[in-house]
Structure 1
Amino acid sequence: MSAPADLSAYGHDPLWLIVAKALVIFVFLLLTTLVAIYAERKVMARMQMRVGPNRVGPRGMLQSLADGVKLALKEGITPAGVDKPIYMLAPIIAVVPAFMAFAVVPFGPEVSIFGTWSPLQLTDLPVGVLYILAVTSIGVYGIVLAGWSSGSTYPLLGALRSTAQVISYEVAMGLSFAAVFLYAGTMSTSGIVSAQEGTWYVFLLLPSFLIYVTAMVGETNRAPFDLPEAEGELVGGFHTEYSSLKFAMFMLAEYVNMVTVSALATTLFLGGWHAPFPLNLWDGANSGWWPVLWFIGKVWFFLFVFIWLRSTLPRLRYDQFMNLGWKILIPGALVWVMTIATVRAFRNAGYNTWLVLLCVGVVLGIALLILVANVFRSRRREVGSGPEKPLESRPFDPMAGGFPVPPMPGHTAPSEDSHA
């Protein structure tokens, strides 16, 4: 078993350093949001053969700032039928947990800050990852309350979708964390980063990484999983009735959550602030302030993936989205967690690791073959049922659905004699 994470370096910072760290994290998240919005517009324009913002500032680089100022200065319209206290509180509930979650994310090792040695992390807990999971779960209350307090049908539908979405995908996300906890032997973020000093968990726990990446896109309501704010179905989703600064706070919460889940993916699977190969061959790569650069680079890699997905994939139907979460991600995560638990148990009992991995691989291979065989059997059964009949040969009943409908192209309405 791994030794417990050493948290003795935390909790001893002077007050001025705590305030400075909190302020730096706040400014970092705000600036990253501004840059991410600009980068998203430019990357999407490039992928879709457009220009993107190019008027405000050099190459349009001040467009995000101009939009923020515009939203802050616009008139805030409050509809007459809203529950005003909850309506005003919902954006705050959505945005505050997004910032709070970054308190336990490690940016780098212990460094000297104006003569005081301190880790580049606001604080850490023995259950730091569970703290992030709990705090980000509170953010959905802001979305639910925004939809409910608006007093309108479409925002309420968007809020209900978001509730189902978070419940579904947080289960898979939590199970992907469990495999990391089992392998690292700790739940603290700094301890997990230290455990990846040799090999990153993206290689050792690849299924957990793939499940987490899928779940984090669903968790942040981003395309192709942006069902709570599907413009074609729900006008704007849960924030339809919001304008001005309150609308901007929802957008800020979305982008800060993107940075948070990207930082968490970096911490759990990409070695945190450790330098990638071949930079890690340099002795000073993981000391001083250099690790902050590696950490930010990895976070931006995931932000680019978010933008890439939005630019290329269409939105899923809601039933497809729920099937992916409940029928694929959660069962797959459960099987993988049990596999990792079995490997760890045999390793702790002194058995040869490679022999255990071979046995587990054979069992998983047999299970995969059975699953593939079932899929092909069901498809063969569908093919064996024969091709679908053309519309002209189908009997048409205008009252089949309980209310009269007109015939489809190729259908002919039945004659009066056939009804008789």
Structure 2
Amino acid sequence: MYSTLLSINFDWLLLIEKAVLIAIIISVSLLVAMYETWGERKVAAFMQDRRGPNRAGPGGLFQPLADGLKLFAKEEIIPNSSNRFLFVLGPGLAMLTAMMTSAVVPWGSHFDLFGRHISLQIADINIGILYIFGVVSMGVYGIMIGGWASNNKFSLLAAIRGASQIISYELAMGISIIALLMITGSLSLKTIVEQQQTGHYYVLLQPLGFLIFLICAFAECNRTPFDLSEAENELNFGYHQEYSSMKLGFYLFAEYVNMFISSAVMATLYWGGYDVPFLNDATFGQAHGQNLLATLQVVSLFVKIVAFIFFFMWVRWTIPRFRYDQLMKLGWKVLIPLALFNMLVTGFLVLLKQNHWHF
């Protein structure tokens, strides 16, 4: 048995490549989350005709660093009446699930370095979309555990709101994805991107499905107008009311990381992912090299992600928060019926095309 294990030719270089890629993606996600806070303030200031942060560094660029330093320096407070273990576990779980989702997102095709094809995707699994839904559904435990372990009635109410909201909107999101899968025939995100490179972006084939997915993404990320679990004018700051220092920072960072990854997933599923518009990737790669092509693909994906992030922020400072009954009514009485209608119409059209029926 021991000799058999030794004879297995394990690719240690692949393990190192994946470890480096994981470290880069985690670092970039945290950096983007930091500067999303700066971007949020700048967008709000622009829309409200004021300057926004402008003291810490040129144009306030060091403001996220100052905020992070402030959170690190704050006193750690754990309420005596709380469940200490779960109180610490909640924000850690929220951050962990936010970071895990990026594992199946293809950030580009591949680099050719040192005679190796280095893929820009941590794991190309054939159930990539199911993996995303599985990890995202675990994120609600971070909210529920934090709200319950605080032993605060406002935190608990906010956590129950958040759990109900996420469970409700995941249904419509899942049904909208089923309609997309009828067209793609695959759950692999890389395959979906490659199909869009040689055909149309799926937003053109699934406009209603994309709209439903986009609205549900706002609810999944607890963004305005769906931030009922953080309604500070009703619930005294929401489910993380009792948190301070970096435990609070983890909850706040997890929301911005979720916004970043949600934007990447929407760009991948509906807007071609890393595909560079109006560019023949195969021809460009042969003429200018694979590495330049991969760099352009990463830049293209990040441009799409930034556009979605700006849209998240634009909506926050434009649309007022819903009442909770309006939130649940929209999810159950509007989005789920629309998603079912979209799925049935898509199924009918796919069947029509497969059988070459004509009227």
TM-score by length of 1: 0.79
- Of the three residues 344, 347, 363, the one matched with 2:350 is 344
- Cα distance in structure 1, aligned partners of 2:66 and 2:207: 41
1:148 maps to 148
> CA 1:12 to 1:325, structure 2 compared with 1: closer, same or farther past 3 Å?
farther
Q: How many residues align structurally?
A: 342
Does residue 251 (structure 1) correspond to residue 252 (structure 2)? The answer is: yes
List runs of 5+ in structure 1 lacking aligned partners. Answer: 1-10, 356-420
Q: Distance in 2 between matches of 1:171 and 1:160?
A: 17
Partner of 2:239: 238
Task: Give the match for residue 8 of structure 2.
Answer: none
Aligned to 2:294: 288
Aligned equivalent of 1:269: 270
Aligned to 1:180: 180
Matches within 5 A, 1:113-132: 113-132=113-132
**Structure-1 residue corresponding to 2:100:** 100
SS of the residue corresponding to residue 18 of structure 2 reads: helix
Kept after mapping to 2: 8 A contact 1:274/1:280: no
8 Å Cα contact 1:13/1:118 also seen in 2: no
Instruction: Report what 1:226 is aligned to.
Output: 227
Q: CA deviation at 1:282?
A: 10
Quote the Cα distance in structure 2 between the aligned partners of 1:345 and 1:152: 53
- 1:125–1:12 CA distance, 2 compared to 1 (3 A): farther
Distance 1:47 1:189, change over 3 A: same
Residue 365 of structure 1 corresponds to which residue in structure 2? Answer: none
1:412 corresponds to which residue?
none
Q: Secondary structure at the match of 1:315?
A: coil
Q: Which amino acid aligns with 1:172?
A: A
Is contact 1:94–1:250 with CA below 8 Å preserved after alignment?
yes
Rounded to whole Å, the distance in 2 between the matches of 1:115 and 1:58 is 42
TM-score (norm 2): 0.92
Which deviates further from its counterpart, 91-100 or 112-121? 112-121
- Shift of residue 69 of structure 1? 1.2
Structure 2 portions without partners, runs of 5+: 1-10
Deviations 1:357-393 (A, max 9, x none): xxxxxxxxxxxxxxxxxxxxxxxxxxxxxxxxxxxxx
Q: Is the 8 A contact 1:74 1:244 kept in 2?
A: yes
> For 1:162 and 1:168, how far apart are their aligned partners in 2?
10
Check whether the contact 2:47–2:317 (CA below 8 A) recurs between aligned residues: yes
> How far is 1:110 from its partner?
2.4
Secondary structure of the residue aligned to 1:111 is strand
Partner of 1:380: none
| Secondary structure of the corresponding residue to residue 82 of structure 1 | coil
Closer/same/farther in 2, CA of residues 238 and 114 from structure 1, 3 Å limit: farther
Structure with more of its chain in helix, by fraction: 2
Looking at structure 2, the residues matched to 291 and 22 of structure 1 have their Cα atoms a distance apart, in angstroms, of: 18
Q: Relative contact order, CA 8 A, sep 6+: which one is greater? A: 2
Partners of 2:283 and 2:307 in 1: how far apart? 24
Q: CA deviation at 1:193?
A: 0.6
Matches of 1:183 and 1:279, distance apart in 2 = 24
Alignment of 1:292-311 (within 5 A): 292-311=298-317
Q: How does 1:257-406 map to 2 (within 5 A)?
A: 257-276=258-277, 278-279=278-279, 283-284=283-284, 287-352=293-358
Q: CA RMSD, aligned part only? A: 1.6
The C-alpha deviation readout for 1:317-337, integer Å capped at 9, x for no partner, is 001111111011000000110
* Partner SS state of residue 171, structure 2: helix
Q: CA deviation at 1:73?
A: 1.5
Q: In the alignment, residue 212 of structure 1 is paired with which amino acid?
A: F
- Secondary structure of the 2:112 match is strand
**Given the superposition, is the C-alpha separation of residues 307 and 289 from structure 1 closer, same or farther in structure 2, using an over 3 Å criterion?**
same
Counting only pairs closer than 5 Å after superposition, residues 15-54 of structure 1 correspond to structure 2 as 15-54=15-54
Residue 37 to residue 172, structure 1, CA distance change in 2 (3 Å): same
